[in-house]
Amino acid sequence: MGNLFGTSKNVSRVTEHDRAVLQLKVQRDKVRQYQRRIEVTMEKERQLAKRLIQEGKKDKAKLMLRKKRFEEQQLTKAEVQLEQLDSLLMNLEFTQIEQQVIQGLKIGNECLRKLHETFKLEDIEKILDESREGIEYQRDIDSLLSGSITTEDDDVVEEEFAQMFADQFPEVPKEDLEEIGDTAPRKDTGKQKATERRERQAQLAD
Amino acid sequence: MASKERFEMPWQYNFPPFFTLQPNLDTRKLQLEAWSALILKYFRSHRLHIIDVNEAQSSPLFHNVSLNRKLSTETIQLILEELRRTGHLEWMDKQKRRGWILWRSVDDWAKLLYRWAIDNGMSNTVCTLYDLLHGHDTADEEFHNMDQDLMQRALKALELQKKAEVISMDGNIGVKFF
């Protein structure tokens, strides 16, 4: 039973694509390992050649260096291969991402299409018509309501309006006028001057 | 390795009785605890993961050359058993000759690997085991060059948590993080 459940639950999330990428990466690792191995042997041979020269074994030393040279060339070849593998890998991985993007676009498109399907053009016209009717109805109500006001009410409204209109101007202070009369052609406009005047007034009152 | 030079042995290491199993049970308990702590610290700083009981005695850890003292194999076994009891050691074989020293638990290794994968944008891609162990990208990580089997166990732990899937292909192992 457990096995049955296990298999149904554990659907592998590793795709064929992943396996291909892994295969390439394994190849890349092998080239890297090869490089490392060659580097180590080259170093050993260099040391050996050095020793052979010290021991006076010229021919053997030369042979060693020739071998090392050959390995150097192999190393360069491996480098080129590594580069190729790397670029191939990048392409592969990028294609995977592109695929995902396309998949995403597809899903988005499908979603948009379905949404459009639910909103049919006639429905929208109907909704707009209905709301227009609603507005007109509201307007009718408004006109009915304003029509119910009598001329008597209008008079009251006018009166109140006149009162309010008058109230919005401040009362003209009488004392100020006298003051201005004393010092004839002075024109007080600035606020500063107004406060000065008020101070003086206070002094006078004392 | 630079860390080798930096590692300093604790004072007990230069204290001859430390290398002889203490008869007094209380003292012995402290002694075993000190040895456990020392082994974990030593292994951590040298980035070692595997202990081989047969070779242990030749390690400077258990053999203080300047004092001319070394731990007996029996005492080493006893200390290792103590480490196993506290969850810091797991035997690889039934004969208890080789074991993993877990100065970090398998689950914690798993967490570390997973965090690395996420931080480096490695989720949803395939990495080879070789890449994780010896690649350029992991050179600064604590799991660089760690024991391959131990890493595989950590990956298995991640697999159980559905955070990774191990892929085995013609003997080559890869992992896909999610």
Cα angle, residue B106 at apex, residues B105 and B112 outer, rounded to 5°: 90
Contacts of A18 in chain B (CB under 8 A): 126, 167, 176
Contacts for A162 with CB less than 8 Å, ≥ 6 apart: none
Residue B64 has pLDDT above 90, yes or no: no
CB atoms B127 and A25 under 8 Å: yes
Cα angle, residue A19 at apex, residues A17 and A22 outer, rounded to 5°: 115
pLDDT more than 70, % of chain A? 76
CB atoms A93 and B125 under 8 Å: yes
Quote the minimal CA–CA distance from A6 to chain B in Å.
12
Do B126 and A93 contact (CB within 8 A), yes or no?
A: no
C-alpha–C-alpha distance, residues A21 and A27, integer Å = 10
Report the residue of A16, A25, A82 to disrupt the B interface, i.e. the one with the largest count of B CBs within 10 Å: A25
CB atoms B130 and A12 under 8 Å: no
B174 closest CB neighbour out of A12, A25, A32 = A25
**Structure confidence at residue A93 (pLDDT):** 86
CB atoms A25 and B167 under 8 Å: no
- Decide if B172 touches A, using CB distance below 8 A: yes
C-alpha–C-alpha distance, residues A156 and A179, integer Å = 40
Q: How many CB atoms lie within 10 A of CB A28?
A: 21
Within 112-131 of B, beta carbons closer than 8 Å to A belong to 125-128, 130-131
Query: Of the given ranges (A8-22, A30-44, A185-199), which has the lowest mean pLDDT?
Result: A185-199
Complex ipTM more than 0.90, yes or no: no
- What angle separates helix A174-182 from helix A191-205, to the nearest 10 degrees? 90
CB atoms B167 and A19 under 8 Å: yes
C-alpha–C-alpha distance, residues A23 and A44, integer Å = 32
Interface of A with B (CB under 8 A): 12-14, 18-19, 21-23, 25-26, 29, 32-33, 93
Question: Average pLDDT for residues A150-176, to the nearest whole number?
Answer: 79
User: Chain A: residue nearest B127 by CA?
Assistant: A22
**Structure confidence at residue B2 (pLDDT):** 41
Contacts of B156 in chain A (CB under 8 A): none
**Structure confidence at residue B6 (pLDDT):** 67
Residues in chain A: 206
Closest by CA position to B43, among listed B108, B91, B90, B88: B88
Quote the minimal CA–CA distance from B166 to chain A in Å.
9
CB atoms A29 and B128 under 8 Å: yes
The domains of chain B, with CATH numbers, are 2-101 (1.10.10.570), 106-177 (1.10.10.10)
Residues in chain B: 178
Q: Which pLDDT tens digit goes with each residue over B65-108?
A: 888 888 888 888 888 888 899 889 988 888 888 888 998 888 89
Helix, strand, or coil (residue B45): helix
pLDDT more than 90, % of chain A? 24
CB atoms B176 and A18 under 8 Å: yes
Q: What are phi and psi of B70, to 5 degrees?
A: -145, 155
CB atoms B176 and A23 under 8 Å: no
**Structure confidence at residue A185 (pLDDT):** 53
